[in-house]
Structure 1
């Protein structure tokens, strides 16, 4: 079992014996304080503020307009719990926000929709970094909870700051769609990186299947398995959002959500293709190693076959009999060597003719 899985189980064990709805943070502790950014906007106006405590958040939330609250850093469980209570969230929602090992899902309550989504970002070493995002849609407010990093939303924030178009005109449900879409768009970049890794591995397997390649293949396969666990449930979540079952989502936004579902279907097909390719690369690697071993065994077998008659001749004349007339012949030694050489050359010619060499 890998270290990450052991860490995950250890964190979840902290909740053992606690009643449902108990806020316990199960992610990695961040050294940063919980940061709260709030964006207030209408079609004509825009305001942004970073608040330091719940009282400031309450004052800002009382203003008229659509609001987007981004909360980064979940280690301060008391503050997270107070914020959730202020907005009237169910205790189980608070528990799920702090349990950062959730699979993508959707839950509907009387006055809000809660979804869990996995934010996946590339790393410098071609690996992938993931964290959980919890998104809550109210009538006039969206709240986004992130573990550590909100950089994925910076392009969306810039659009919100500069735009007086669709993003600020169509209401909170459209921003809700835009948040999901920005996360899904990042998946395409992840799969581009994985595709490049697979191409390099394929070239290496064909040219020289070294043992280090096997570790790379298994690394890609683990990433693909993990991505599948994050993407397939999300596709079901978006499909459910686009069916017109929620009064907080307008008919116009449902059309855009169906487009996100199409993107997720495309990503899922790419995922399955890459999984098949990774499995094929593993088979190709094992076949290449087997072929190299067969080549080595063939060379050793040919060498051993050539030496069989030579060993017989050497053994025959190595017997310690008193009467072996040819041993006294002046040309016996070079004659035997020539015979042995002729046999070896003849066998090599025969092997070459049979294309065994």
Structure 2
């Protein structure tokens, strides 16, 4: 069987994984998302004949050699190469999510929203990619046999991405809950401070009128009496708040 790799053809039009049959010729394309920021997405295209397999790899990103006794084996080998390290990659994503959770629980670090957003974006991309690959494999089973194990493997990868997506949503909700709790604590503190100073403001406003007939105006101890009343009010309010467990 003839196996050929062509690097000259440009594949910028590929945006998803698919397979179709036209004029008794089976052809397909793969749009593989990058597993790191430093790497670009991979784009492949292939054509399968009765006794030939042609792979278009314009960017020379596929290092492994594609081989097989039949065209179906070549396609199977290609897909297995594409997802060979994906489970380890998903495990690393899960470890990153666990580190974010530890930071959230210990209130260490910052920029949680951007971290969780980037993780959810990556997980969503791979979840869509695995769904497309499962559909490709299911379509291949209409023409060839032996793809059942590969479909199960892709289904497991898709299930892992679904679980990671739920995990990231839980982390986002946890972060949002912590933000709301901090806001509630700030509002509670401001409310307590306002409540404490409200009667003091009333007293200062009351004695700020300076009417000539006010009995405490000419008293030698008037200032200290009012000061003592203010301190007593503060003490009583603090005792009341503590009994109510407001702080």
Q: Matched residues in 1 for 2:182 and 2:108: separation?
A: 9
Q: Does 1:150 align with 2:49?
A: no
Partner in structure 1 of residue 236 of structure 2: 346
Q: Name the CA shift for 1:147/1:202 in 2 (closer, same or farther; >3 Å).
A: farther
Deviates more, 1:286-295 or 1:208-217: 208-217
Q: Name the CA shift for 1:71/1:208 in 2 (closer, same or farther; >3 Å).
A: farther
Q: Matched residues in 1 for 2:91 and 2:58: separation?
A: 25
Q: Write the deviation string for residues 206-250 of structure 1: whole angstroms up to 9, x where unpaired.
A: 3439872212222222223322332212101112223xx32xx4x
Q: Write the deviation string for residues 125-174 of structure 1: whole angstroms up to 9, x where unpaired.
A: 5x7742221122223332222342424x43xx3xx7xxxxxx66x44432
Q: Does 1:315 align with 2:229?
A: no
Q: Does 1:331 align with 2:227?
A: no
Counting only pairs closer than 5 Å after superposition, residues 284-299 of structure 1 correspond to structure 2 as 284-299=174-189
Q: Name the CA shift for 1:339/1:98 in 2 (closer, same or farther; >3 Å).
A: closer
Kept in 2, the 8 Å contact 1:111–1:139? The answer is: no
Partner in structure 2 of residue 134 of structure 1: 45
Partner in structure 2 of residue 214 of structure 1: 113
Q: Which has the higher contact order (CA 8 A, sep 6+)?
A: 2
Q: Write the deviation string for residues 190-209 of structure 1: whole angstroms up to 9, x where unpaired.
A: 32232233223323333439
Q: Name the CA shift for 1:340/1:73 in 2 (closer, same or farther; >3 Å).
A: farther
Kept in 2, the 8 Å contact 1:104–1:118? The answer is: yes
Distance apart, 1:305 and its partner CA: 0.3
Distance apart, 1:258 and its partner CA: 1.0
Q: Does 1:275 align with 2:174?
A: no
Q: Write the deviation string for residues 44-87 of structure 1: whole angstroms up to 9, x where unpaired.
A: xxxxxxxxxxxxxxxxxxxxxx3332233544xxxxxxxxxxxx
Partner in structure 2 of residue 355 of structure 1: 245
Segments of structure 2 that go 5 or more residues without pairing to the other structure are none
Distance apart, 1:111 and its partner CA: 4.9
Counting only pairs closer than 5 Å after superposition, residues 251-266 of structure 1 correspond to structure 2 as 254-255=145-146, 257-266=147-156
Runs of 4+ in 1 over 6 A off after TM superposition: none
Counting only pairs closer than 5 Å after superposition, residues 83-102 of structure 1 correspond to structure 2 as 99-101=13-15
TM-score between the two structures when normalised by the length of structure 1: 0.62
TM-score between the two structures when normalised by the length of structure 2: 0.87
* RMSD across aligned positions (CA): 2.5
Matched positions, count? 247
3-state SS, counterpart of residue 131 of structure 2: helix
Kept in 2, the 8 Å contact 1:209–1:285? The answer is: no
Kept in 2, the 8 Å contact 1:120–1:128? The answer is: no
Q: Matched residues in 1 for 2:60 and 2:180: separation?
A: 46
Among candidates 283, 302, 306, match of residue 192 of structure 2: 302
3-state SS, counterpart of residue 206 of structure 1: helix
Q: Matched residues in 1 for 2:108 and 2:180: separation?
A: 10
Distance apart, 1:292 and its partner CA: 0.9
3-state SS, counterpart of residue 329 of structure 1: coil
Kept in 2, the 8 Å contact 1:113–1:137? The answer is: yes
Among candidates 118, 124, 136, match of residue 237 of structure 1: 136
Kept in 2, the 8 Å contact 1:120–1:186? The answer is: no
